[in-house]
Structure 1
Amino acid sequence: MPKIKVLPHIEICPQGKEISAPAGTSICEALLDNGIEIEHACEMSAACTTCHVIVREGFDSLGELEEVEEDLLDRAWGLEPQSRLSCQAIVAGKDLTVEIPRYTINHAKEGH
């Protein structure tokens, strides 16, 4: 079973964490199933960017980006070339290292 290494995030996962996730599971589902409360305002329907992650290792093992995801990512805070919506990025057979950006577009708008 592939492993997902989550880099430390000051609020969501301060110590970082390594979890296992069955192939075919979205990164978002895997994080939530393992107690990492990543924001997912649209309930994983690919309608927002709050579950944005940066895939530091294993990016190429994920499926191709659909046009909807590409369009949404243009609005994500802290966009990088390895950015994905975690609700759309499906775990394959390779281990992953992911970083949850410090802010989401919701967080930035609320002025936290």
Structure 2
Amino acid sequence: MPQIIFLPHEELCPDGKVIEVEPGVSICDAALANGVDIEHACEKSCACTTCHVIVREGFDSLDEADELEEDMLDKAWGLEPESRLSCQALVDEEDLVVEIPKYTINQVSERH
């Protein structure tokens, strides 16, 4: 079973986290199910950028982002070539190393 290795994030997982996940599960759903409270203001409908992550390893194992996701990613803070919306990126058979950016653009978050 593939693993997702979350790099340390000051608020969401200060020590980082390693989780096993079934192929076909989104990075966002895997994070939420394992105590990594990644933001997802649009309820995972690809309508915002709050669940933006950077896939540091294993990026090529993910299906390509569709046009809607690409359009949304253009609005994300700290966009990089390996950026994905975690609600749209489905785990395949390869392990992933994921970084959650320090900031997110969320006008309605109660955390900020």
Measured in 1, the distance between the counterparts of 2:106 and 2:31 equals 19
Amino acid at match of 2:6: V
Amino acid at match of 2:87: C
- The Cα RMSD (Å) is 1.4
Task: Give the gaps of 5 or more residues in structure 2.
Answer: none
Measured in 2, the distance between the counterparts of 1:56 and 1:97 equals 5
Stretches (4+) displaced over 2 A: none
Measured in 2, the distance between the counterparts of 1:50 and 1:67 equals 18
Measured in 2, the distance between the counterparts of 1:65 and 1:51 equals 14
Task: Give the gaps of 5 or more residues in structure 1.
Answer: none
Q: What is the aligned partner in structure 1 of residue 58 from structure 2?
A: 58
Q: What is the aligned partner in structure 1 of residue 35 from structure 2?
A: 35
Q: What is the aligned partner in structure 1 of residue 101 from structure 2?
A: 101
Q: What aligned pairs does 1:1-112 form with structure 2 within 5 A after superposition?
A: 1-106=1-106, 112=112
Measured in 1, the distance between the counterparts of 2:84 and 2:4 equals 14
Aligned to 2:18, the other structure's residue is in SS state strand
Amino acid at match of 1:72: M
Measured in 2, the distance between the counterparts of 1:17 and 1:64 equals 25
Deviations 1:54-73 (Å, cap 9, x if unpaired)? 00000000001100000000
Offset, 1:100: 0.1
Give percent identity, aligned residues only: 69
TM-score, normalised by the number of residues in structure 2: 0.95
Measured in 2, the distance between the counterparts of 1:71 and 1:64 equals 13
TM-score, normalised by the number of residues in structure 1: 0.95
Offset, 1:106: 1.4
